[in-house]
């Protein structure tokens, strides 16, 4: 005789309507998870675009920063005269 030879509990039956309801519940959870994943991926793409735009702006600012520094130096030279 094995370990599980005598089961003291009666066999369990599942109501088909309850099973269908449970299946709908799990499908809605999985659908919600995939929707959250899609939203997060869209946010990631948007953040990537924003980062790229900020990097481009920083590059442009770096390219004119020396001009601003020269203006500041020229202004200081004129004020000392």
- Report the percentage of the chain scoring pLDDT > 70: 80
pLDDT at residue 54 in the model: 98
pTM of the model: 0.51
* Residue of 80 and 17 predicted with greater confidence: 17
Report which of residues 11 and 49 the model is more confident about.
49
Instruction: Give me the residue label for tokens 């001009």.
Output: 67
Structure tokens at 74: 């020229």
Q: What is the residue-averaged pLDDT of the chain?
A: 82
Using 50, 70 and 90 to split pLDDT, how confident is the model at 7? confident
Closest CA to 32 of 24, 21, 43: 24
Model pLDDT for residues 23-59, shown as the tens digit of each residue? 888 888 888 888 999 999 999 999 999 999 999 999 9
């Amino acid at each position: 005789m094995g370990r599980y030879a005598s089961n003291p509990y009666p066999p369990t039956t599942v109501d088909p309507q309850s099973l269908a309801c449970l299946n709908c519940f799990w499908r809605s959870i999985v659908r919600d998870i995939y929707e959250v994943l899609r939203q997060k991926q869209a946010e990631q793409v948007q953040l990537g675009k924003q980062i790229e735009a900020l990097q481009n702006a920083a590059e442009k600012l770096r390219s004119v920063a020396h001009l601003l520094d020269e203006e500041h130096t020229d202004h200081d030279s004129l004020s000392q005269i």
